[in-house]
Amino acid sequence: MASPLLSVSDLALNLGDRWLLRHVSLVVSPGDRLAFVGRNGAGKSSLMKLIAGYTEPDEGSRWCAPYCSVAYLPQNPSFKASMSLSSYVLNGLDNEPHMSVDDRRKLAYRADAIIERLGLVPGQMTDNLSGGEQRRVSLAKALVSDPDVLLLDEPTNHLDLPTIEWLENMLKARKGALILISHDRAFLRTLGNGILWLNQGTLRRRQGAFDEFEDWSEAIISEEALRLHKLDKKIAEETRWSHQGISARRKRNQGRLRDLQALRLQRARQAPSQIKELTVNPIKAETGGQVVLEARDISLSVSAADRRRLLVQHFNLKIQRGDRLGLVGPNGVGKTTLVRALLGELAPDAGHVKAGYGLIPGYFDQNRALLNQQASPWTVLCPDGGDMVEIAGKPRHVVSYLRDFLFDDNKTTQKVSTLSGGEQNRLMLAFIFAQPHNFLVLDEPTNDLDMETIDLLQEVISEYDGTVLIVSHDRDFLDRTVTGLLAFEDNGRIIAHAGGYTDYLDRRRRQLDKQQQTQADKKAGQEKTAQKKTVDRPKDRLSYKQTYLLEKLPNEMATLTEKITTAEQHLSDMTFFEQDPDSYQILAEQTRQNKVNLQEKEKAWLELAILHEELNSS
């Protein structure tokens, strides 16, 4: 068994009025990839900070093995101004006294490669970064050091699907330990080989795939409910005995009364604190036409330096009432621009969009432009004053309505700018669901939400009798909510696919396999035709070109063999992949192509050698 890298023992964290964490212990070893789950507010991020050593516990201890490195991606990173992204990522990593000049150069190259892979420019300054950009830079800083223990708090927020898949592959190739907080079930299923569950201040651990979490957690909740039920029953019986009369006050029965008080104290300690759950009643879509909107031959572009960059060309779409559509593609490809064009917020360069009869969109904007950061949740919902909102045709007090979305009463009058990302997203949902609509357009609605809230949102969408268009990087959420997918392809093309994201991936893989097989068959046919022509052509001597190739090919084959041998030695070193995955992939592809070329040259040389021998013998 591998030696532990890090451990915490009997950790506790007190918030003043209550214990958030108590008696929390954990041992982290090499190869651990732990999916860390729990409700919003359970204390996951607080515990991650304690594990990382960023904060001190009120009780308990933390131990880290000598020379064990720990990197942590916080949910809300802080930044120094006026630094390039490359300098920020390398800060504190490239000044180790034992590092050689070559090591520093390799680290700088790796940092720039990861920054660029995350869609950023290494020379860009840290000033005026958006929240999403800050998180991506912090993720690059955590990844570039290749630590022994990597702690990631919601790493997939603000990443597109191709980048998430790249991150999955990179994390799977790591040899160190990983603790991962994420609302992305598909991400946790792919990476996790163990589960951490924080519930009611208690941390539980289970080895195994994340798919086992639901059954495991539900079994524990049921067992605890049964145990508390038995304890309640025993307390009730003892209380009844204590009320039966004077016999309970005799000296010999005082011990039994003390036992009753101990049972009551035990029950009070074990009573679960009240868990708040987001409450959203089924929302009703307004009436409207059968055709929601129709886009005819639209093209979209944006300014890029001294030219226009094409986003969408010749796109046609008809959305009908009841459709459940997903929109996917890399960051910057034009998803939000297309959504705004479909909603009539900007005009396309060519073509037109026609809104259907009675169209009333409800738009969840990932940038939260609808939220006035200086307003309060109360005034966001009641912009004209007052304290009542109309929900499903019935008036409700604004505070009562906000409680359904997990807002404490004191937060209803705070500035929106002071709310967390999850709270602002819940406020956006509260605002949209309070408005009339029949076409829900949700742009990255799952960011900063916990899995329970995402589950409820999925149920709301499934029961909604209007039309839904979802832009999301959450693959599991797309699989559970949409029945059709619009996928951005190359050159501004958008292709429609039936089913969810998993169906789309399966179809793409089959298409790619078919294309590769077609290319292989075509190449084989061409080679066969060339061979036939060579055999059928009557000759008494080799041509000049054939003679040249017969002499040149052995040298070329020797050069390729040497390149392949050297490359395979590099590729067998797994630290190469961990330090520079992009260069590893490039070298692997070059080596594969060199092997194909070597086989072709060997085959050509052998055919020429046989032909030369036959001609000489005749």
Same domain, 404 and 546: no
In a domain, 11, yes or no: yes
Does residue 240 lie in a domain region?
yes
Whether 54 and 164 share a structural domain: yes
Within-domain flag for 60: yes
What DSSP element (H or E) covers 570? Answer: helix 544-571
Tell me, yes or no, whether 393 and 245 share the same domain: no
pTM: predicted TM-score of the whole model, two decimal places: 0.69
- 464 in any annotated domain: yes
Domain range enclosing 58: 6-79+134-208
Q: Which two tokens stand for residue 10?
A: 């009997």
Q: Which of 324, 336, 335, 279 is CA-nearest to residue 453?
A: 279
The pLDDT of residue 149 is 94
The pLDDT of residue 359 is 93
Q: Which among 496, 160, 473 has a CA at the least distance from the CA of 330?
A: 160
d(CA 257, CA 140): 61
- 411 and 313 co-located in one domain: yes
pLDDT score at 102: 79
Q: How many structural domains compose the chain?
A: 4
Of 187, 208, 229, the one marking the end of a domain is 208
In-domain check, residue 512: no
The SS3 assignment for 385 reads coil
What pLDDT is attached to residue 135?
Answer: 81
**301 forms bridges with which residues in the sheet?**
310
Q: State residue 80's pLDDT score.
A: 77
State the pLDDT at residue 539: 52
Per the CB < 8 A criterion, the answer to whether 167 and 24 are in contact is no
Quick one: 132 exposed, middle or buried, by C-beta within 10 A (0-12, 13-18, 19+)?
A: middle
SS3 per residue for 511-563: HHHHHHHHHHHHHHHHHHHHHHHHHHCCCCCCCHHHHHHHHHHHHHHHHHHHH
Q: What is the rounded distance in angstroms from the CA atom of residue 268 to the CA atom of residue 300?
A: 62
* CATH number for the domain harbouring residue 488: 3.40.50.300
Task: Tell whether 450 and 545 lie within a shared domain.
Answer: no
Distance (Å, whole) CA 350 – CA 367:
27
Residue 574 is predicted with a pLDDT of: 58
Low-confidence ranges of the chain (pLDDT < 70): 1, 94-98, 130-131, 229, 231, 235, 238-278, 304-306, 527-540, 572-575, 577-578, 581-582, 617-618
Residue 265 burial (CB count, 10 A): 10
Q: Within this chain, do residues 549 and 590 fall inside the same structural domain, yes or no? A: yes
Q: Which residues, listed in sequence order, are joined to residue 326 by a DSSP beta bridge?
A: 470, 485
In this structure, the answer to whether residues 341 and 239 fall within a common structural domain is no
* In a domain? residue 374: yes
